[in-house]
Structure 1
């Protein structure tokens, strides 16, 4: 399986898991930084390989085989992130960048060895679930985006869904880390902004951030 194909099905799977659930070729093209025409052409080719379902102007949908390929790549990516974070204490952006390269060169055997070495983790350092060797995600995701959190409630950060360096630098500087606790002090729904209290600091976040920071209520 080529790197281009693996990245394409992975992008469809990940976009399908997000709040906007936008898997149209144009959005996948934007995600992968390719032209709309190239994305449409790839979608048609992969439909012929039974990796996805393609219909003009419709969102792309992975077949069972396509989902299996995507989850295999995602498993390797997230295991590498976990290993690099554990061994070298690298930043969240750096582990993502390196894992993007390593995931395509990793055999199933090596992935299993990495998982075993790490104690078969269920989540990576971003809070993203790690599929098991069978391509199954065994955890139940009950998280919501910070933009949908309720005022006055306390939450635990469960996922940071980004690969942007500035985002991760901001998170690191302000204690926005997987597993940390925050309080939603105010939702400015008209202006699409959220005010939070974390580590005794008040921070105002716009929707660009609150839509990719996921939390679970701290009961």
Structure 2
């Protein structure tokens, strides 16, 4: 399949998981193409049995389309994991390179990369990596930092962005997958979250607090 087809199917899959909005216009915006081009692509992929297309309705992947999306996503996230481990590249850079490499990677090479890395369950952003059968074996219990409770300690589980400025900010302030943070204040009216990480206090606006996902740090929140 072409790069355009794989990117389109992947965009439909990710938007279905993220916002449940997969109309051609939304996918067009995501991919930087015209609405007409997105509709045309959707019709072509429907013929190939990769998705279901109905005018003015959400796009829904078929079983075949879903498998394709997960296969591309697996390769993308494995490459991110390898590049991060070998070259300590920034989260933005590994994402950009993986966008190119995912389309040129055979299933054989993807499996070799996975084996080399110890078959990781998550990439450096905290996104789950499907296994070789296209199955995500982990359960996502994370939620956005904006919904976290004051006074509790959390572990960063996911950084859902591909924006360079966001990742640069995270790198400068120790906001990375697996790190521990404490929510000291939620400014509900002003939609801001104050956290403490590495003994530093940081105030985040809603643009950041809604794309940083966390899980409760059970060991730190046990009541004695």
TM-score range, shorter chain: over 0.9
- Which position in structure 1 is the counterpart of 2:199? 200
User: For residues 40 and 188 of structure 1, what CA distance do their matches in structure 2 show?
Assistant: 42
- Which position in structure 2 is the counterpart of 1:8? 8
Which string of whole-angstrom CA distances, capped at 9 and with x for unpartnered residues, describes residues 103-159 of structure 1?
Answer: 000000000111111111111111111110000000111111112222222110001
Change in 2 beyond 3 A, CA 1:43/1:152:
same
- Which position in structure 2 is the counterpart of 1:56? 55
Which string of whole-angstrom CA distances, capped at 9 and with x for unpartnered residues, describes residues 35-75 of structure 1?
Answer: 12211221121122111122222222111111100000000
- Which position in structure 2 is the counterpart of 1:28? 27
User: For residues 195 and 21 of structure 2, what CA distance do their matches in structure 1 show?
Assistant: 28
Moved more, 120-129 or 144-153: 144-153
Which string of whole-angstrom CA distances, capped at 9 and with x for unpartnered residues, describes residues 145-194 of structure 1?
Answer: 11222222211000111111111000000111000011122222232222
Give 1:27 deviation, angstroms: 1.7
**Structure 2 gaps, min length 5:** 219-224
- Which position in structure 2 is the counterpart of 1:176? 175
Change in 2 beyond 3 A, CA 1:148/1:56:
farther
- Which position in structure 1 is the counterpart of 2:115? 116
User: For residues 152 and 56 of structure 2, what CA distance do their matches in structure 1 show?
Assistant: 41
Give 1:8 deviation, angstroms: 0.7
Match of 1:80, SS state, is helix
**Structure 1 gaps, min length 5:** none
Match of 1:150, SS state, is coil
Q: Is 1:103 matched with 2:102?
A: yes
State the structure with more CA Rg.
2
User: For residues 127 and 144 of structure 1, what CA distance do their matches in structure 2 show?
Assistant: 12
User: For residues 195 and 24 of structure 1, what CA distance do their matches in structure 2 show?
Assistant: 36
Moved more, 8-17 or 100-109: 8-17
**After TM superposition, where is structure 1 displaced by more than 3 Å over at least 4 residues in a row?**
none
User: For residues 28 and 206 of structure 1, what CA distance do their matches in structure 2 show?
Assistant: 27
- Which position in structure 2 is the counterpart of 1:40? 39
User: For residues 192 and 57 of structure 1, what CA distance do their matches in structure 2 show?
Assistant: 34
